[in-house]
Structure 1
């Protein structure tokens, strides 16, 4: 009972602002690192799920009721993207900057050095995972990579899926980072979390590629101005055109209706 009360206090410290019906916590990276560290060190009895939500996640949750139900069960939903930060501010949310998956990973690795946390990376390609592990162990002395697995780009068989979960659990990680891209990574976490013996799990999308150096991330000044999406679109137009043009337009239109009070998406 006492443990459950502590966990509830951790989750309720930060208010939530609904954006197109998806509640997003008003929280900054240092506080996210603090909460995540607490869960790993004191609340190890179940996987705690952090959703790193960008515009794509919000639109996906609006368009798909099943996805919305999934991500609403996360323990923490953080705002990744200047568009979410601005909307939250317009709605009275006390949030100053975005919580990008790449920045969160770097802050967590730095802030937990010396604690002996074990990290497992699930997703992306063998090349990305190899470079990711090498870069992280060089940049963060003492960081332990408990394991990594690149699943095939097709649905896993039941036997393959069971083997993947078994490998993760046998590695005894403290944190499971999932880089399958949204919404696939959130669906994977939702489906498998009851079988995972790990206190913390997050989906971080393209962060594996950025930290591995297999894809160049936008310079900090572009991200600070809120134009990282434009950089990524210029680098990968074929893959991201729908997200940027179609979903971006839908997001702007729906938010305008919500802020004007003409629609309620709660």
Structure 2
């Protein structure tokens, strides 16, 4: 599909040193785009950019550091001359347990990184380029923002808020800037290790498609959403979870095998 060609376009991907962010950067580069990868350290940003290759560059910028974010936007425009795509991928989850047992520091860090950072970066790129020239923003949310789970309620609340903000921004920045989100299920990343590492077989078996996600599964969807193939899509949250949000698939499979 010609609409998936990103040649001549430039993207910033936050939190791109590994996992979903790195896979997204590779997918955008493979479609012809220039990519700027951010990470908290310059060393990890450079290593990720080297892995992507081509014109990719790495910039040290903690997601909630406004000065570093401004510098990243400026460097991107100086280097490539445009800033057409923003993928707000940086995320964190320092809290575990019931919400009322969390302290303010964990609450603030969770919402700063998972919600304020996408607002910050989207505002910067809109004012610097996209507001006049157009562009596409994708936020990395989670199916956790659409459901309820024990012990990660604060994280899920931040992702639920991000889904809401995605829709709000889609309206506020229309018609020049499209704003969408992806909601991954359990994906093979370091951030999500607690959800799959010790019981991957059970998690995979319960999903309709029989496996946990890979970063590339999410990256393909993001590359679509920022391309012209998705030019009439905004304010949407694309669930990419192998059917996990549907519930446990095992009873349905067993029923089919028994001819029920």
TM-score by length of 1: 0.32
More contact order relative to length (CA 8 Å, sep ≥ 6) = 1
